[in-house]
Structure formats: C-alpha cells, structure tokens
A and B are shown apart, each in its own frame.
Chain A
Amino acid sequence: MSAPMIYQKITKMIVILLIFLCAPWLVLSNTSEEEIGEFFKSGHTNNWAVLVDTSRFWFNYRHVANVLSIYRSVKRLGIPDSHIILMVADDMACNPRNPRPATVFNNANQHINVYGDDVEVDYRGYEVTVENFIRVLTGRLPPSTPRSKHLLSDERSNILVYMTGHGGDGFLKFQDAEEVSNVELADAFEQMWQKRRYHELFFMVDTCQAQSMFQRFYSPNILAVASSHVGEDSLSHHVDPALGVYVIDRYTFYALEFLEKAKPGSKKTMGQFLKVCPKYQCISTVAVRTDLFQRDPNQVLLTDFFGSVRNVEILLNTLALPNITLTSDTCSKSSCGNEEVSSRSLKYADQFPMPV
C-alpha cells in the first residue's frame, strides 16, 4: 500500500467519525428548536380535567378503576391536583367486599395501585349527581363551595372531560336514580363556551352507545371521542379472579396503554390518540367527532389536553428598587396577636356524650 492511499483512508475514517460524533448533536439541536416554536402555537395557558365516574356498587368496580387510571395518567403528565375535578360515585377502596382494602387496581396482575397515595377526590359518593356535574361545568355553584370543587377555567384553558358509567342512547346514568342526557350536556358546554370558560375541550366517554353523548354538541372547539357507536355496547377488558369483578373497560385500557408511553414532553398527537383501540381490540367501534374542532387533530399535541405544558417567559428586565433597610419590629403584627391569644386561658372542648 502506498503512502497516499493510507493517508486517504485515514482522512475518510476521520470524516466518518466526525459525522458519527456530530449526528446526535444535530438531532438534539433540531428538537429543541421545534419545542420553542411550539410554546406559542397553541393558544392555551392552562389545563383542566374533569373526570367523572357515574356508577356505584361493587360490580361496577371497573368504572372507578377507569377514572382513577385516567386521573393517574393526567397527573403524571403534569396537570396539578388543583386543576383536576375528580368525581367518583363510590368508594371501591373502602368497600367491605374489597379483599385488598385501600387499593384499586386496573389490572389483574395488580401492578399499579391506581388509588395510590395521594388521590384527591373532589366529589364522592352521593355528591356525584347530574346537578353537581352540570354546576361544576357551568360554574353555577353555591357561594359556600370550596375552591377545590370549582372549575376555575378561563378563555385560555384546555379542558379534558372524561366520563365513564352505564349509558344508553342519548343518556348516561348517574348513580342509580338519574341520568344526564346528551342535550343537557350539549347545553352545558354551550354555556361554558358563551361564558368563555374554555379554549378547547376534549370530551372522552367510555360507556355503551357512547357516540350518542356527543351527537348533540353544537359549540365550537370541541373534540370528542367515544368508545362505541350508537347501538353498540362497550365491553370490559378482563376480570381479576382475586377480586371477582371486571377491573377495566376495553377502551380505557387501550387508551391508557397509549398514555402510559407518553412522557411529559411527549410529541405524540391527538390524531394518534383518536386511533387508539381499533375494532379488533375494542370489539365496539370507537367514534370520533372532529367537525367542531378547528385544528387538525394530527397537529395537536397529546399534552395539549392530557398534560400541562405551561408557557413560561423569562424575566429579562427588572425594576430597579432602592435598598431599604428592613427594620423588624420587636413586636410585629402577627406575633403580637399571638401573645394576646396565648394569654387567654385555654380549655378543652366538652367531650361528645357517649352512650354508656
């Protein structure tokens, strides 16, 4: 081999090596640029989620598992508890028939306890009524309602509404006594739209004949998906022999499978999410409604609804403030108040009278 040949070979190798070294950098710099561009692409500044399980009794264990699984996913993707309204009609974790108290599982393998350590249920048991649900959506709550039970969304909020329970053509049963009809739901969403309570809304429902729930919607910027067509039943996924009940519904199961793979900064789109659970998996046909929605779902990030990617702004200029020496009084407002309180004699409250 002559010297020039060796020289050429070495230069070639160096070039290839350089390309290999640089490739990850090129990819990295590309994605970071995309991300910055996306921050102001969507017009929302905050995310809210209203997650509703409408059915009670032990044999409806799977509905509670459904809603808690979704709750867990959106929380993991970044929606804080203060922005999630969770309505659970029955307390499965504390049901006397639950062989594993204080847990709720969505899988027979019992991998994940969806009840977890910090579940903040905002409406529970008999508080889950059609009236309360509509009141939460429209904001017409009595003045005494605590902040955590309010949907305090504004015209820059993206809202996820997830419902699960037993339904029929045009209604979804709440508890055992009443039902919400698709007309009422459509009216409630219209009232929200009129009062600028949402920017975009994603409605997701897992129930029999679920498609009927969104057929009457007429307000703009709503994207809706349902687990089954009108005339079809939605089916449960599998039974846990240890619990003796079905633990999750098919549509929610496959939706979760998709969501579990997403990370907070995920690039997955709503378009992909809407294709989840094809007929061979769900047995029922997943119905989608996109005509009210103004963007192309394939261009909408999953985290626009299922997570909370905030817009942030770096503070470039600050005001110049003079240096003031802060003199702390020996007796500030709060500490003085405390002393007065402590000077009062304290006594225990009377004990609750107990039957002997």
Chain B
Amino acid sequence: MTDEDISEKEKDTQAYAALGIGLICIVVGLPLWWKATEVYRVQLPYSDINGLSEIPLTYTAEVQVVCFDDVWTKRILEISQLLQDNLSKTTGTEIKANYRLSVRERTTEELDIFKQKGSVPDLPFVDDELSKSKLVSGDRNKYYIFLVPKLFKLDYAYIGKHHNILIRPLNDVTELVKDISGIVKSYVIHEDSVEKSILNAKGARSLKPDKESMRSVRYNPGYDITFTLTVPQPDILDVRWQIEEAVTAYIESMTNKLTEYTSFEIKSQLQYFTTFQSKPKYDESLKEYYYQEQNLPQLINPIESTLGTSSSNNPELNFIVYIPTRDKSPLYIRDKNGNKVKSNAFLSPRWGGVMIYNVPEFNSSAALPYLVQVDMRQVMEVFVSQIRLLLNVNSAAQLGSKNVVFEPVGVAGINDIEIDVWLRNRCAENLATSINTLQSLAQLLGQISNIVIKDDIGSEVETAVESIKNSQKLLQAGNLVGAFQASKLAIIASEKAFFDPSLLELLYFPEDQKFAIYIPLFLPISIPVIGSIYKAIKHLRGSNKAKKD
C-alpha cells in the first residue's frame, strides 16, 4: 500500500465524515430546530366553529288556548288549525319562531275564578287566581290564552303579570284567530325584538344607529349599579335619603328575579360640593331655571369624574339624584318644544341616568342647614324605569295600545312575560356574539401566525362550541332557561378564550427580527458544514471518475 493510497483513503474518510455531519444536521438538526421554534397551537375545532353560524336558529314557545263558551268549544279543532297556520307565518330571517299549540276546554275551577267577582271580572284578581290554580303552571315560556266568556264585558285584550292573556270575546273565528296570533307575536313573544337582538349582536357596527341597541348595555354576567345623591351645598341643605330601604322596597324585587341570570352589585354614595358646570337659563315669567335638551350632554362629564371607579370590570350603571343649588332652583329640564319634562330626568345610553330633584321651598329665616327628606318613591319611579330601559327590558308601557292593556308592573319591577322576553333576547344575543367571537378568533389565527394557543384556551373554545350547540338545541326544544344558561356559559367561555392574556405572548416578535437572531447563530456553524459537504461531494465524484478511468 503506497502513501498515495493511504492519503486517498484518509480523504475518503474525511468526505464520509463531512457527509455524515451534514446528514445529521439535516435529518436531526433541521426538524429539531423547526419543532423547537414552532408556535404552540392546540388544534381548534375550526370546521365546527365555521359551521355554527350555518345552523338555523329556532325557538319554541308553548301556547295553550282555553275556551269558555260553547261556541268555541265545539270548534276547537278548527281554531287550533287556523291558529297554527297563522302562528307559523314568521317573517324572521335570522331566527324562526315555532309554536307548540294546544286548545282545550275550560275547567269548572277556571270558570269559578271568572265568576267569583260578578259580571265585570276583576282582571288582576283573575290573573293571580289563575296562576295559583294547579292547571296553570308557572313555567317559563308557557302562555295561557283565555277566551273570555261572552257574559263578561271586555273590549280589549289583557296581558297579566304572569303568563295569562285574556282575549276579548269575539264572534268571528277568523277575527279571533287574528287577534290571538297578533297578540302572541308582538306583545308576548316580541318576535321582532328577538330578530333585532341577533342583528345587533352580529352587525352592530353598521353605521345606522338604532336607538334601542345604542341605549341598552349588552349582556354581562354582572352589573354594578351605583346610586349617587349629589348635594352641592350641604351647608344650606341637609339632604337625607333612605336609599338602603328604598332599594330593598323597590329595586330588589326586580333584581331578585333576575339574579339567576345576572348579578347586581348595588351601592350608594353621597357627594358634596359637586355642581353642574353649565349654567341653566332663567325663565322670568315662571321664575324658574331650566336646561334645554341640547344642554344636557355637557352636564354629565364634570359629575362623572367625581363618581369614583368601581373595582370590578362589570359594566357600571350610574344613577344620580342632583339637588340644585339654592340660587338656581327650582331647576327643570325642557324638551325640544320647550315643555317641562314631567320626570325631570334624562338618561345617557349605556351609562345611567340623572334626575334633578327640586327641594320644596323653605322660609329664608329657617335655621341652616335645612333638613330635607328625599321622596324615594319619586326617585325610584324614575330609576326603575331607567334601569329597565338600560337593561333592555321591553317596556310594556311603550308598546301598549288601545286594544291591548298590560297589567302595570308596579313594585315587581319586571313581570313574568318580560323576563321571558328578556331571556329569549339575551339568549339570542349571546349566541350571536359568542359565535362571532369564536369565528373572529379562528380568522385571526389564520391571519396572524404568531399567536400562541395554549391547552386551556383550546378547552375554553371547546366548551364554548359545546355550549352554543347545547343552547341552540334547548332553545329549539322550548327550554328557555336551560338555553339561556348554556348561552351564558358560551359567552363567558368565548370571551375568556378571546381575551386570554397568553394569546399575546409572542405577538411582538416580527418575522424579520427572527433573521437578525438566527444569522449570527447559524452562519458560523453552517459555513464550514456546507463548505465541507461541497468539498466531500466534489472529492467523491472525482474518485469515482478516477476509478472508471
């Protein structure tokens, strides 16, 4: 063996070694680097998420018609058929209403309730008694329609506090059916408002403002309500209010009914030496001060800064009672036409309400500070109405007409039909919102490659998808409360997934900066490796040729 052979062999070994290292770099190094720098992403159910919006939404409500007169009891079948036809004519495009209808004869018990108070039925009494009787259960989403017997004089439809609707006696069957379906659709179920809440949740950013969606707060698992009494001159007026007792008396009945669905944190505070900054105008003839409608927006800001902030992140609703200063009272709000506003109050959308409370005039020689007790009924009348508007409880007073009469809500604050409507609307809104949130999240993940998705976000997304499907099913089956609770879970999970802080962990790490990090790291290693591979390949090719020769 010559020296040449040995050196040739050595060169071969070198070449194989270089190729081996190169191979390790490519086979082991590259995948390892790829794996190690990969953005961690849990597999999300993308197709499920995209499919969610394709499932047609339907809700079911149960309607039971109770006939009293023989004229109708003979025609039960006809009525039920006509009514079913009429009710199934829905106009909604986003969500469809479905009615489970039954028509039956009255029981003697029910007739007795009607007859108890003579020929003019005492409607609230009948309403209460009917709900107490066993035949009418107090379930949600079940409505009882009583065709009032002819011997009673009633020339309008009456919608009670509970789920009972009394329909005036009519002679014609088509007229009767039209009456029933009209009332059910627009006064009991509020088909339009369900449709509207979905549209608002979906496309609220269309530039067309819609008063109701602008005014009311979106659904949240909790709200903070703060009542503030603002006294600019505590040295002159010693104003007292029984807010704790008033809240118990007037507000709690409402919040207790909703507490299953959303929580309320109610607080109150007293604020001294805070005044409206803009000056009111003076009416010489009436000797009173007033603000015009266009002055009102500027009143809130200076007061708001002193209200303090709450520690929770729930939406805040502020309600302010403002006592005018002595030199500017009495102080009134006037509308566009210059008329005094009876309530002397206004609201700001999604924020709360302000009420100007004029204290009675007192003798200038009275000892100061003059003690004033705020009439809490007057204050609560305003604030309960405003809370209802801000929470988007469809106000009966707004929608009533001369043919349809609502039992006034009174101290209950919210009645059963309104709770149903509220639940149905919020459920639809939550579904639309959480579907939207999930779809935006999915879309963003496609657009922005740096977002990390951890396991817990994956499971939140799965919970949300599951809950949405569940809610859709329950809504269709007519289980309103179950559907609502599922939609609540869905919105909480989807919001949590979208707003999780870990989504941002890698976001501020642009692609071009990665080069700046890798080049000084990889260049010193890769140049000798690539160089020696090139050399080795060249050498092996050369020696092959030499052997052939």
Contact = CB atoms under 8 A, between A and B. Distances in A.
A and B part of one assembly = yes
Interface of A: 32, 35-36, 39-40, 42-43, 45-46, 78-82, 130-131, 134-135, 138-142, 146-148, 150, 152, 154-156, 178, 180-181, 183-184, 187-188, 190-191, 194-196, 199, 221, 264-265, 294-295, 308-324, 326-328, 332-334
Given A80-B301, A80-B305, A320-B408, A327 B507 contact: no
A322 B297 contact: no
B293 to A, nearest CB: 6
Contact of A265 (B208, B246, B298, B313): B298
Contact of A318 (B301, B381, B441): B381
B501 A135 contact: yes
Contacts of B207: 43, 294-295
A140 B305 contact: no
B215 interface: yes
B255 to A, nearest CB: 15
Contacts of A194: 440-441, 443-444
A131 to B, nearest CB: 6
Contacts of A191: 444, 448
A135 B505 CA distance: 10
Those 8 A-B pairs whose CB atoms lie nearest each other, nearest first? A194-B440, A326-B245, A43-B209, A310-B297, A312-B296, A318-B381, A315-B343, A315-B345
A36 B336 contact: yes
B70 interface: no
B411 A313 contact: no
Contact of A155 (B204, B349, B388, B444): B204
Given A80-B304, A333-B244, A312 B385 contact: no
Given A156-B204, A181-B510, A324-B250, 18 more contacts: A40-B209, A131-B508, A135-B504, A141-B501, A190-B448, A195-B440, A195-B498, A312-B293, A312-B347, A314-B293, A315-B353, A318-B345, A319-B385, A319-B409, A322-B377, A322-B410, A328-B242, A328-B244
Contacts of B244: 328, 332-334
Interface string B339-351: 0011101111111
B346 A315 contact: yes
B214 A156 contact: yes
A154 B349 CA distance: 12
A315 B510 contact: no
A316 B346 CA distance: 9
A313 B510 contact: no
B220 to A, nearest CB: 11
B184 interface: no
Given A194-B440, A314-B335, A148 B309 contact: yes
29 contacts: A36-B293, A45-B214, A45-B349, A46-B351, A134-B508, A135-B501, A184-B510, A187-B447, A187-B448, A188-B507, A190-B444, A194-B440, A221-B205, A264-B298, A265-B298, A295-B207, A313-B211, A313-B215, A314-B333, A315-B343, A315-B347, A316-B341, A319-B384, A319-B388, A321-B250, A321-B410, A323-B377, A324-B249, A333-B244
Nearest to B440: A194
B440 A318 contact: no
B297 A134 contact: no
B397 interface: yes
B350 A312 contact: no
A326 B249 CA distance: 8
Contacts of B218: 154
A99 to B, nearest CB: 31
Nearest to A220: B205
Interface residues on B, range: 35 or more
B46 to A, nearest CB: 16
Nearest to A32: B294
A131 B504 contact: yes
B544 interface: no
B258 interface: no
A71 to B, nearest CB: 14
A155 B305 CA distance: 23
Interface string B393-417: 0010110000000001111000000
Given A134-B508, A311-B297, A140 B437 contact: no
Contacts of A196: 204-205, 436
A156 B218 CA distance: 11
B297 A309 contact: yes
Nearest to B300: A310
A82 B385 contact: no
B256 to A, nearest CB: 16
Contacts of B386: 315
Contact of A315 (B209, B385, B501): B385
A311 B214 contact: yes
A190 B347 contact: no
Contacts of B245: 326-328
Given A32-B292, A82-B305, A265-B298, A326 B508 contact: no
Contact of A147 (B294, B304, B311): B311
B380 interface: yes
Interface string B286-309: 000000111011101100110001
Interface in B324-370: 333, 335-336, 341-343, 345-351, 353
A230 B421 CA distance: 56
Contacts of A39: 297
Contacts of A131: 504, 508
B310 interface: yes
Contact of A183 (B335, B343, B347, B510): B510
A140 B501 contact: yes
B205 A199 contact: yes
A138 B504 contact: yes
B176 interface: no
Contacts of B296: 312, 314
B382 interface: yes
A149 to B, nearest CB: 10
A137 B377 CA distance: 43
A152 B250 contact: no
B19 to A, nearest CB: 41
B381 A310 contact: no
Contacts of B242: 326, 328
B21 interface: no
A80 B318 CA distance: 14
A312 B346 contact: yes
Nearest to A142: B501
A86 B437 CA distance: 28
B376 interface: yes
A32 B291 CA distance: 13
B3 to A, nearest CB: 61
Contact of A313 (B294, B342, B346): B346
B249 A150 contact: no
A184 B294 contact: no
Nearest to B388: A319
Interface in B405-441: 408-411, 436-437, 440-441
B312 interface: yes
A320 B500 contact: no
A154 B312 CA distance: 17
Contacts of A324: 249-250, 377, 411
Nearest to A79: B301
B499 interface: yes
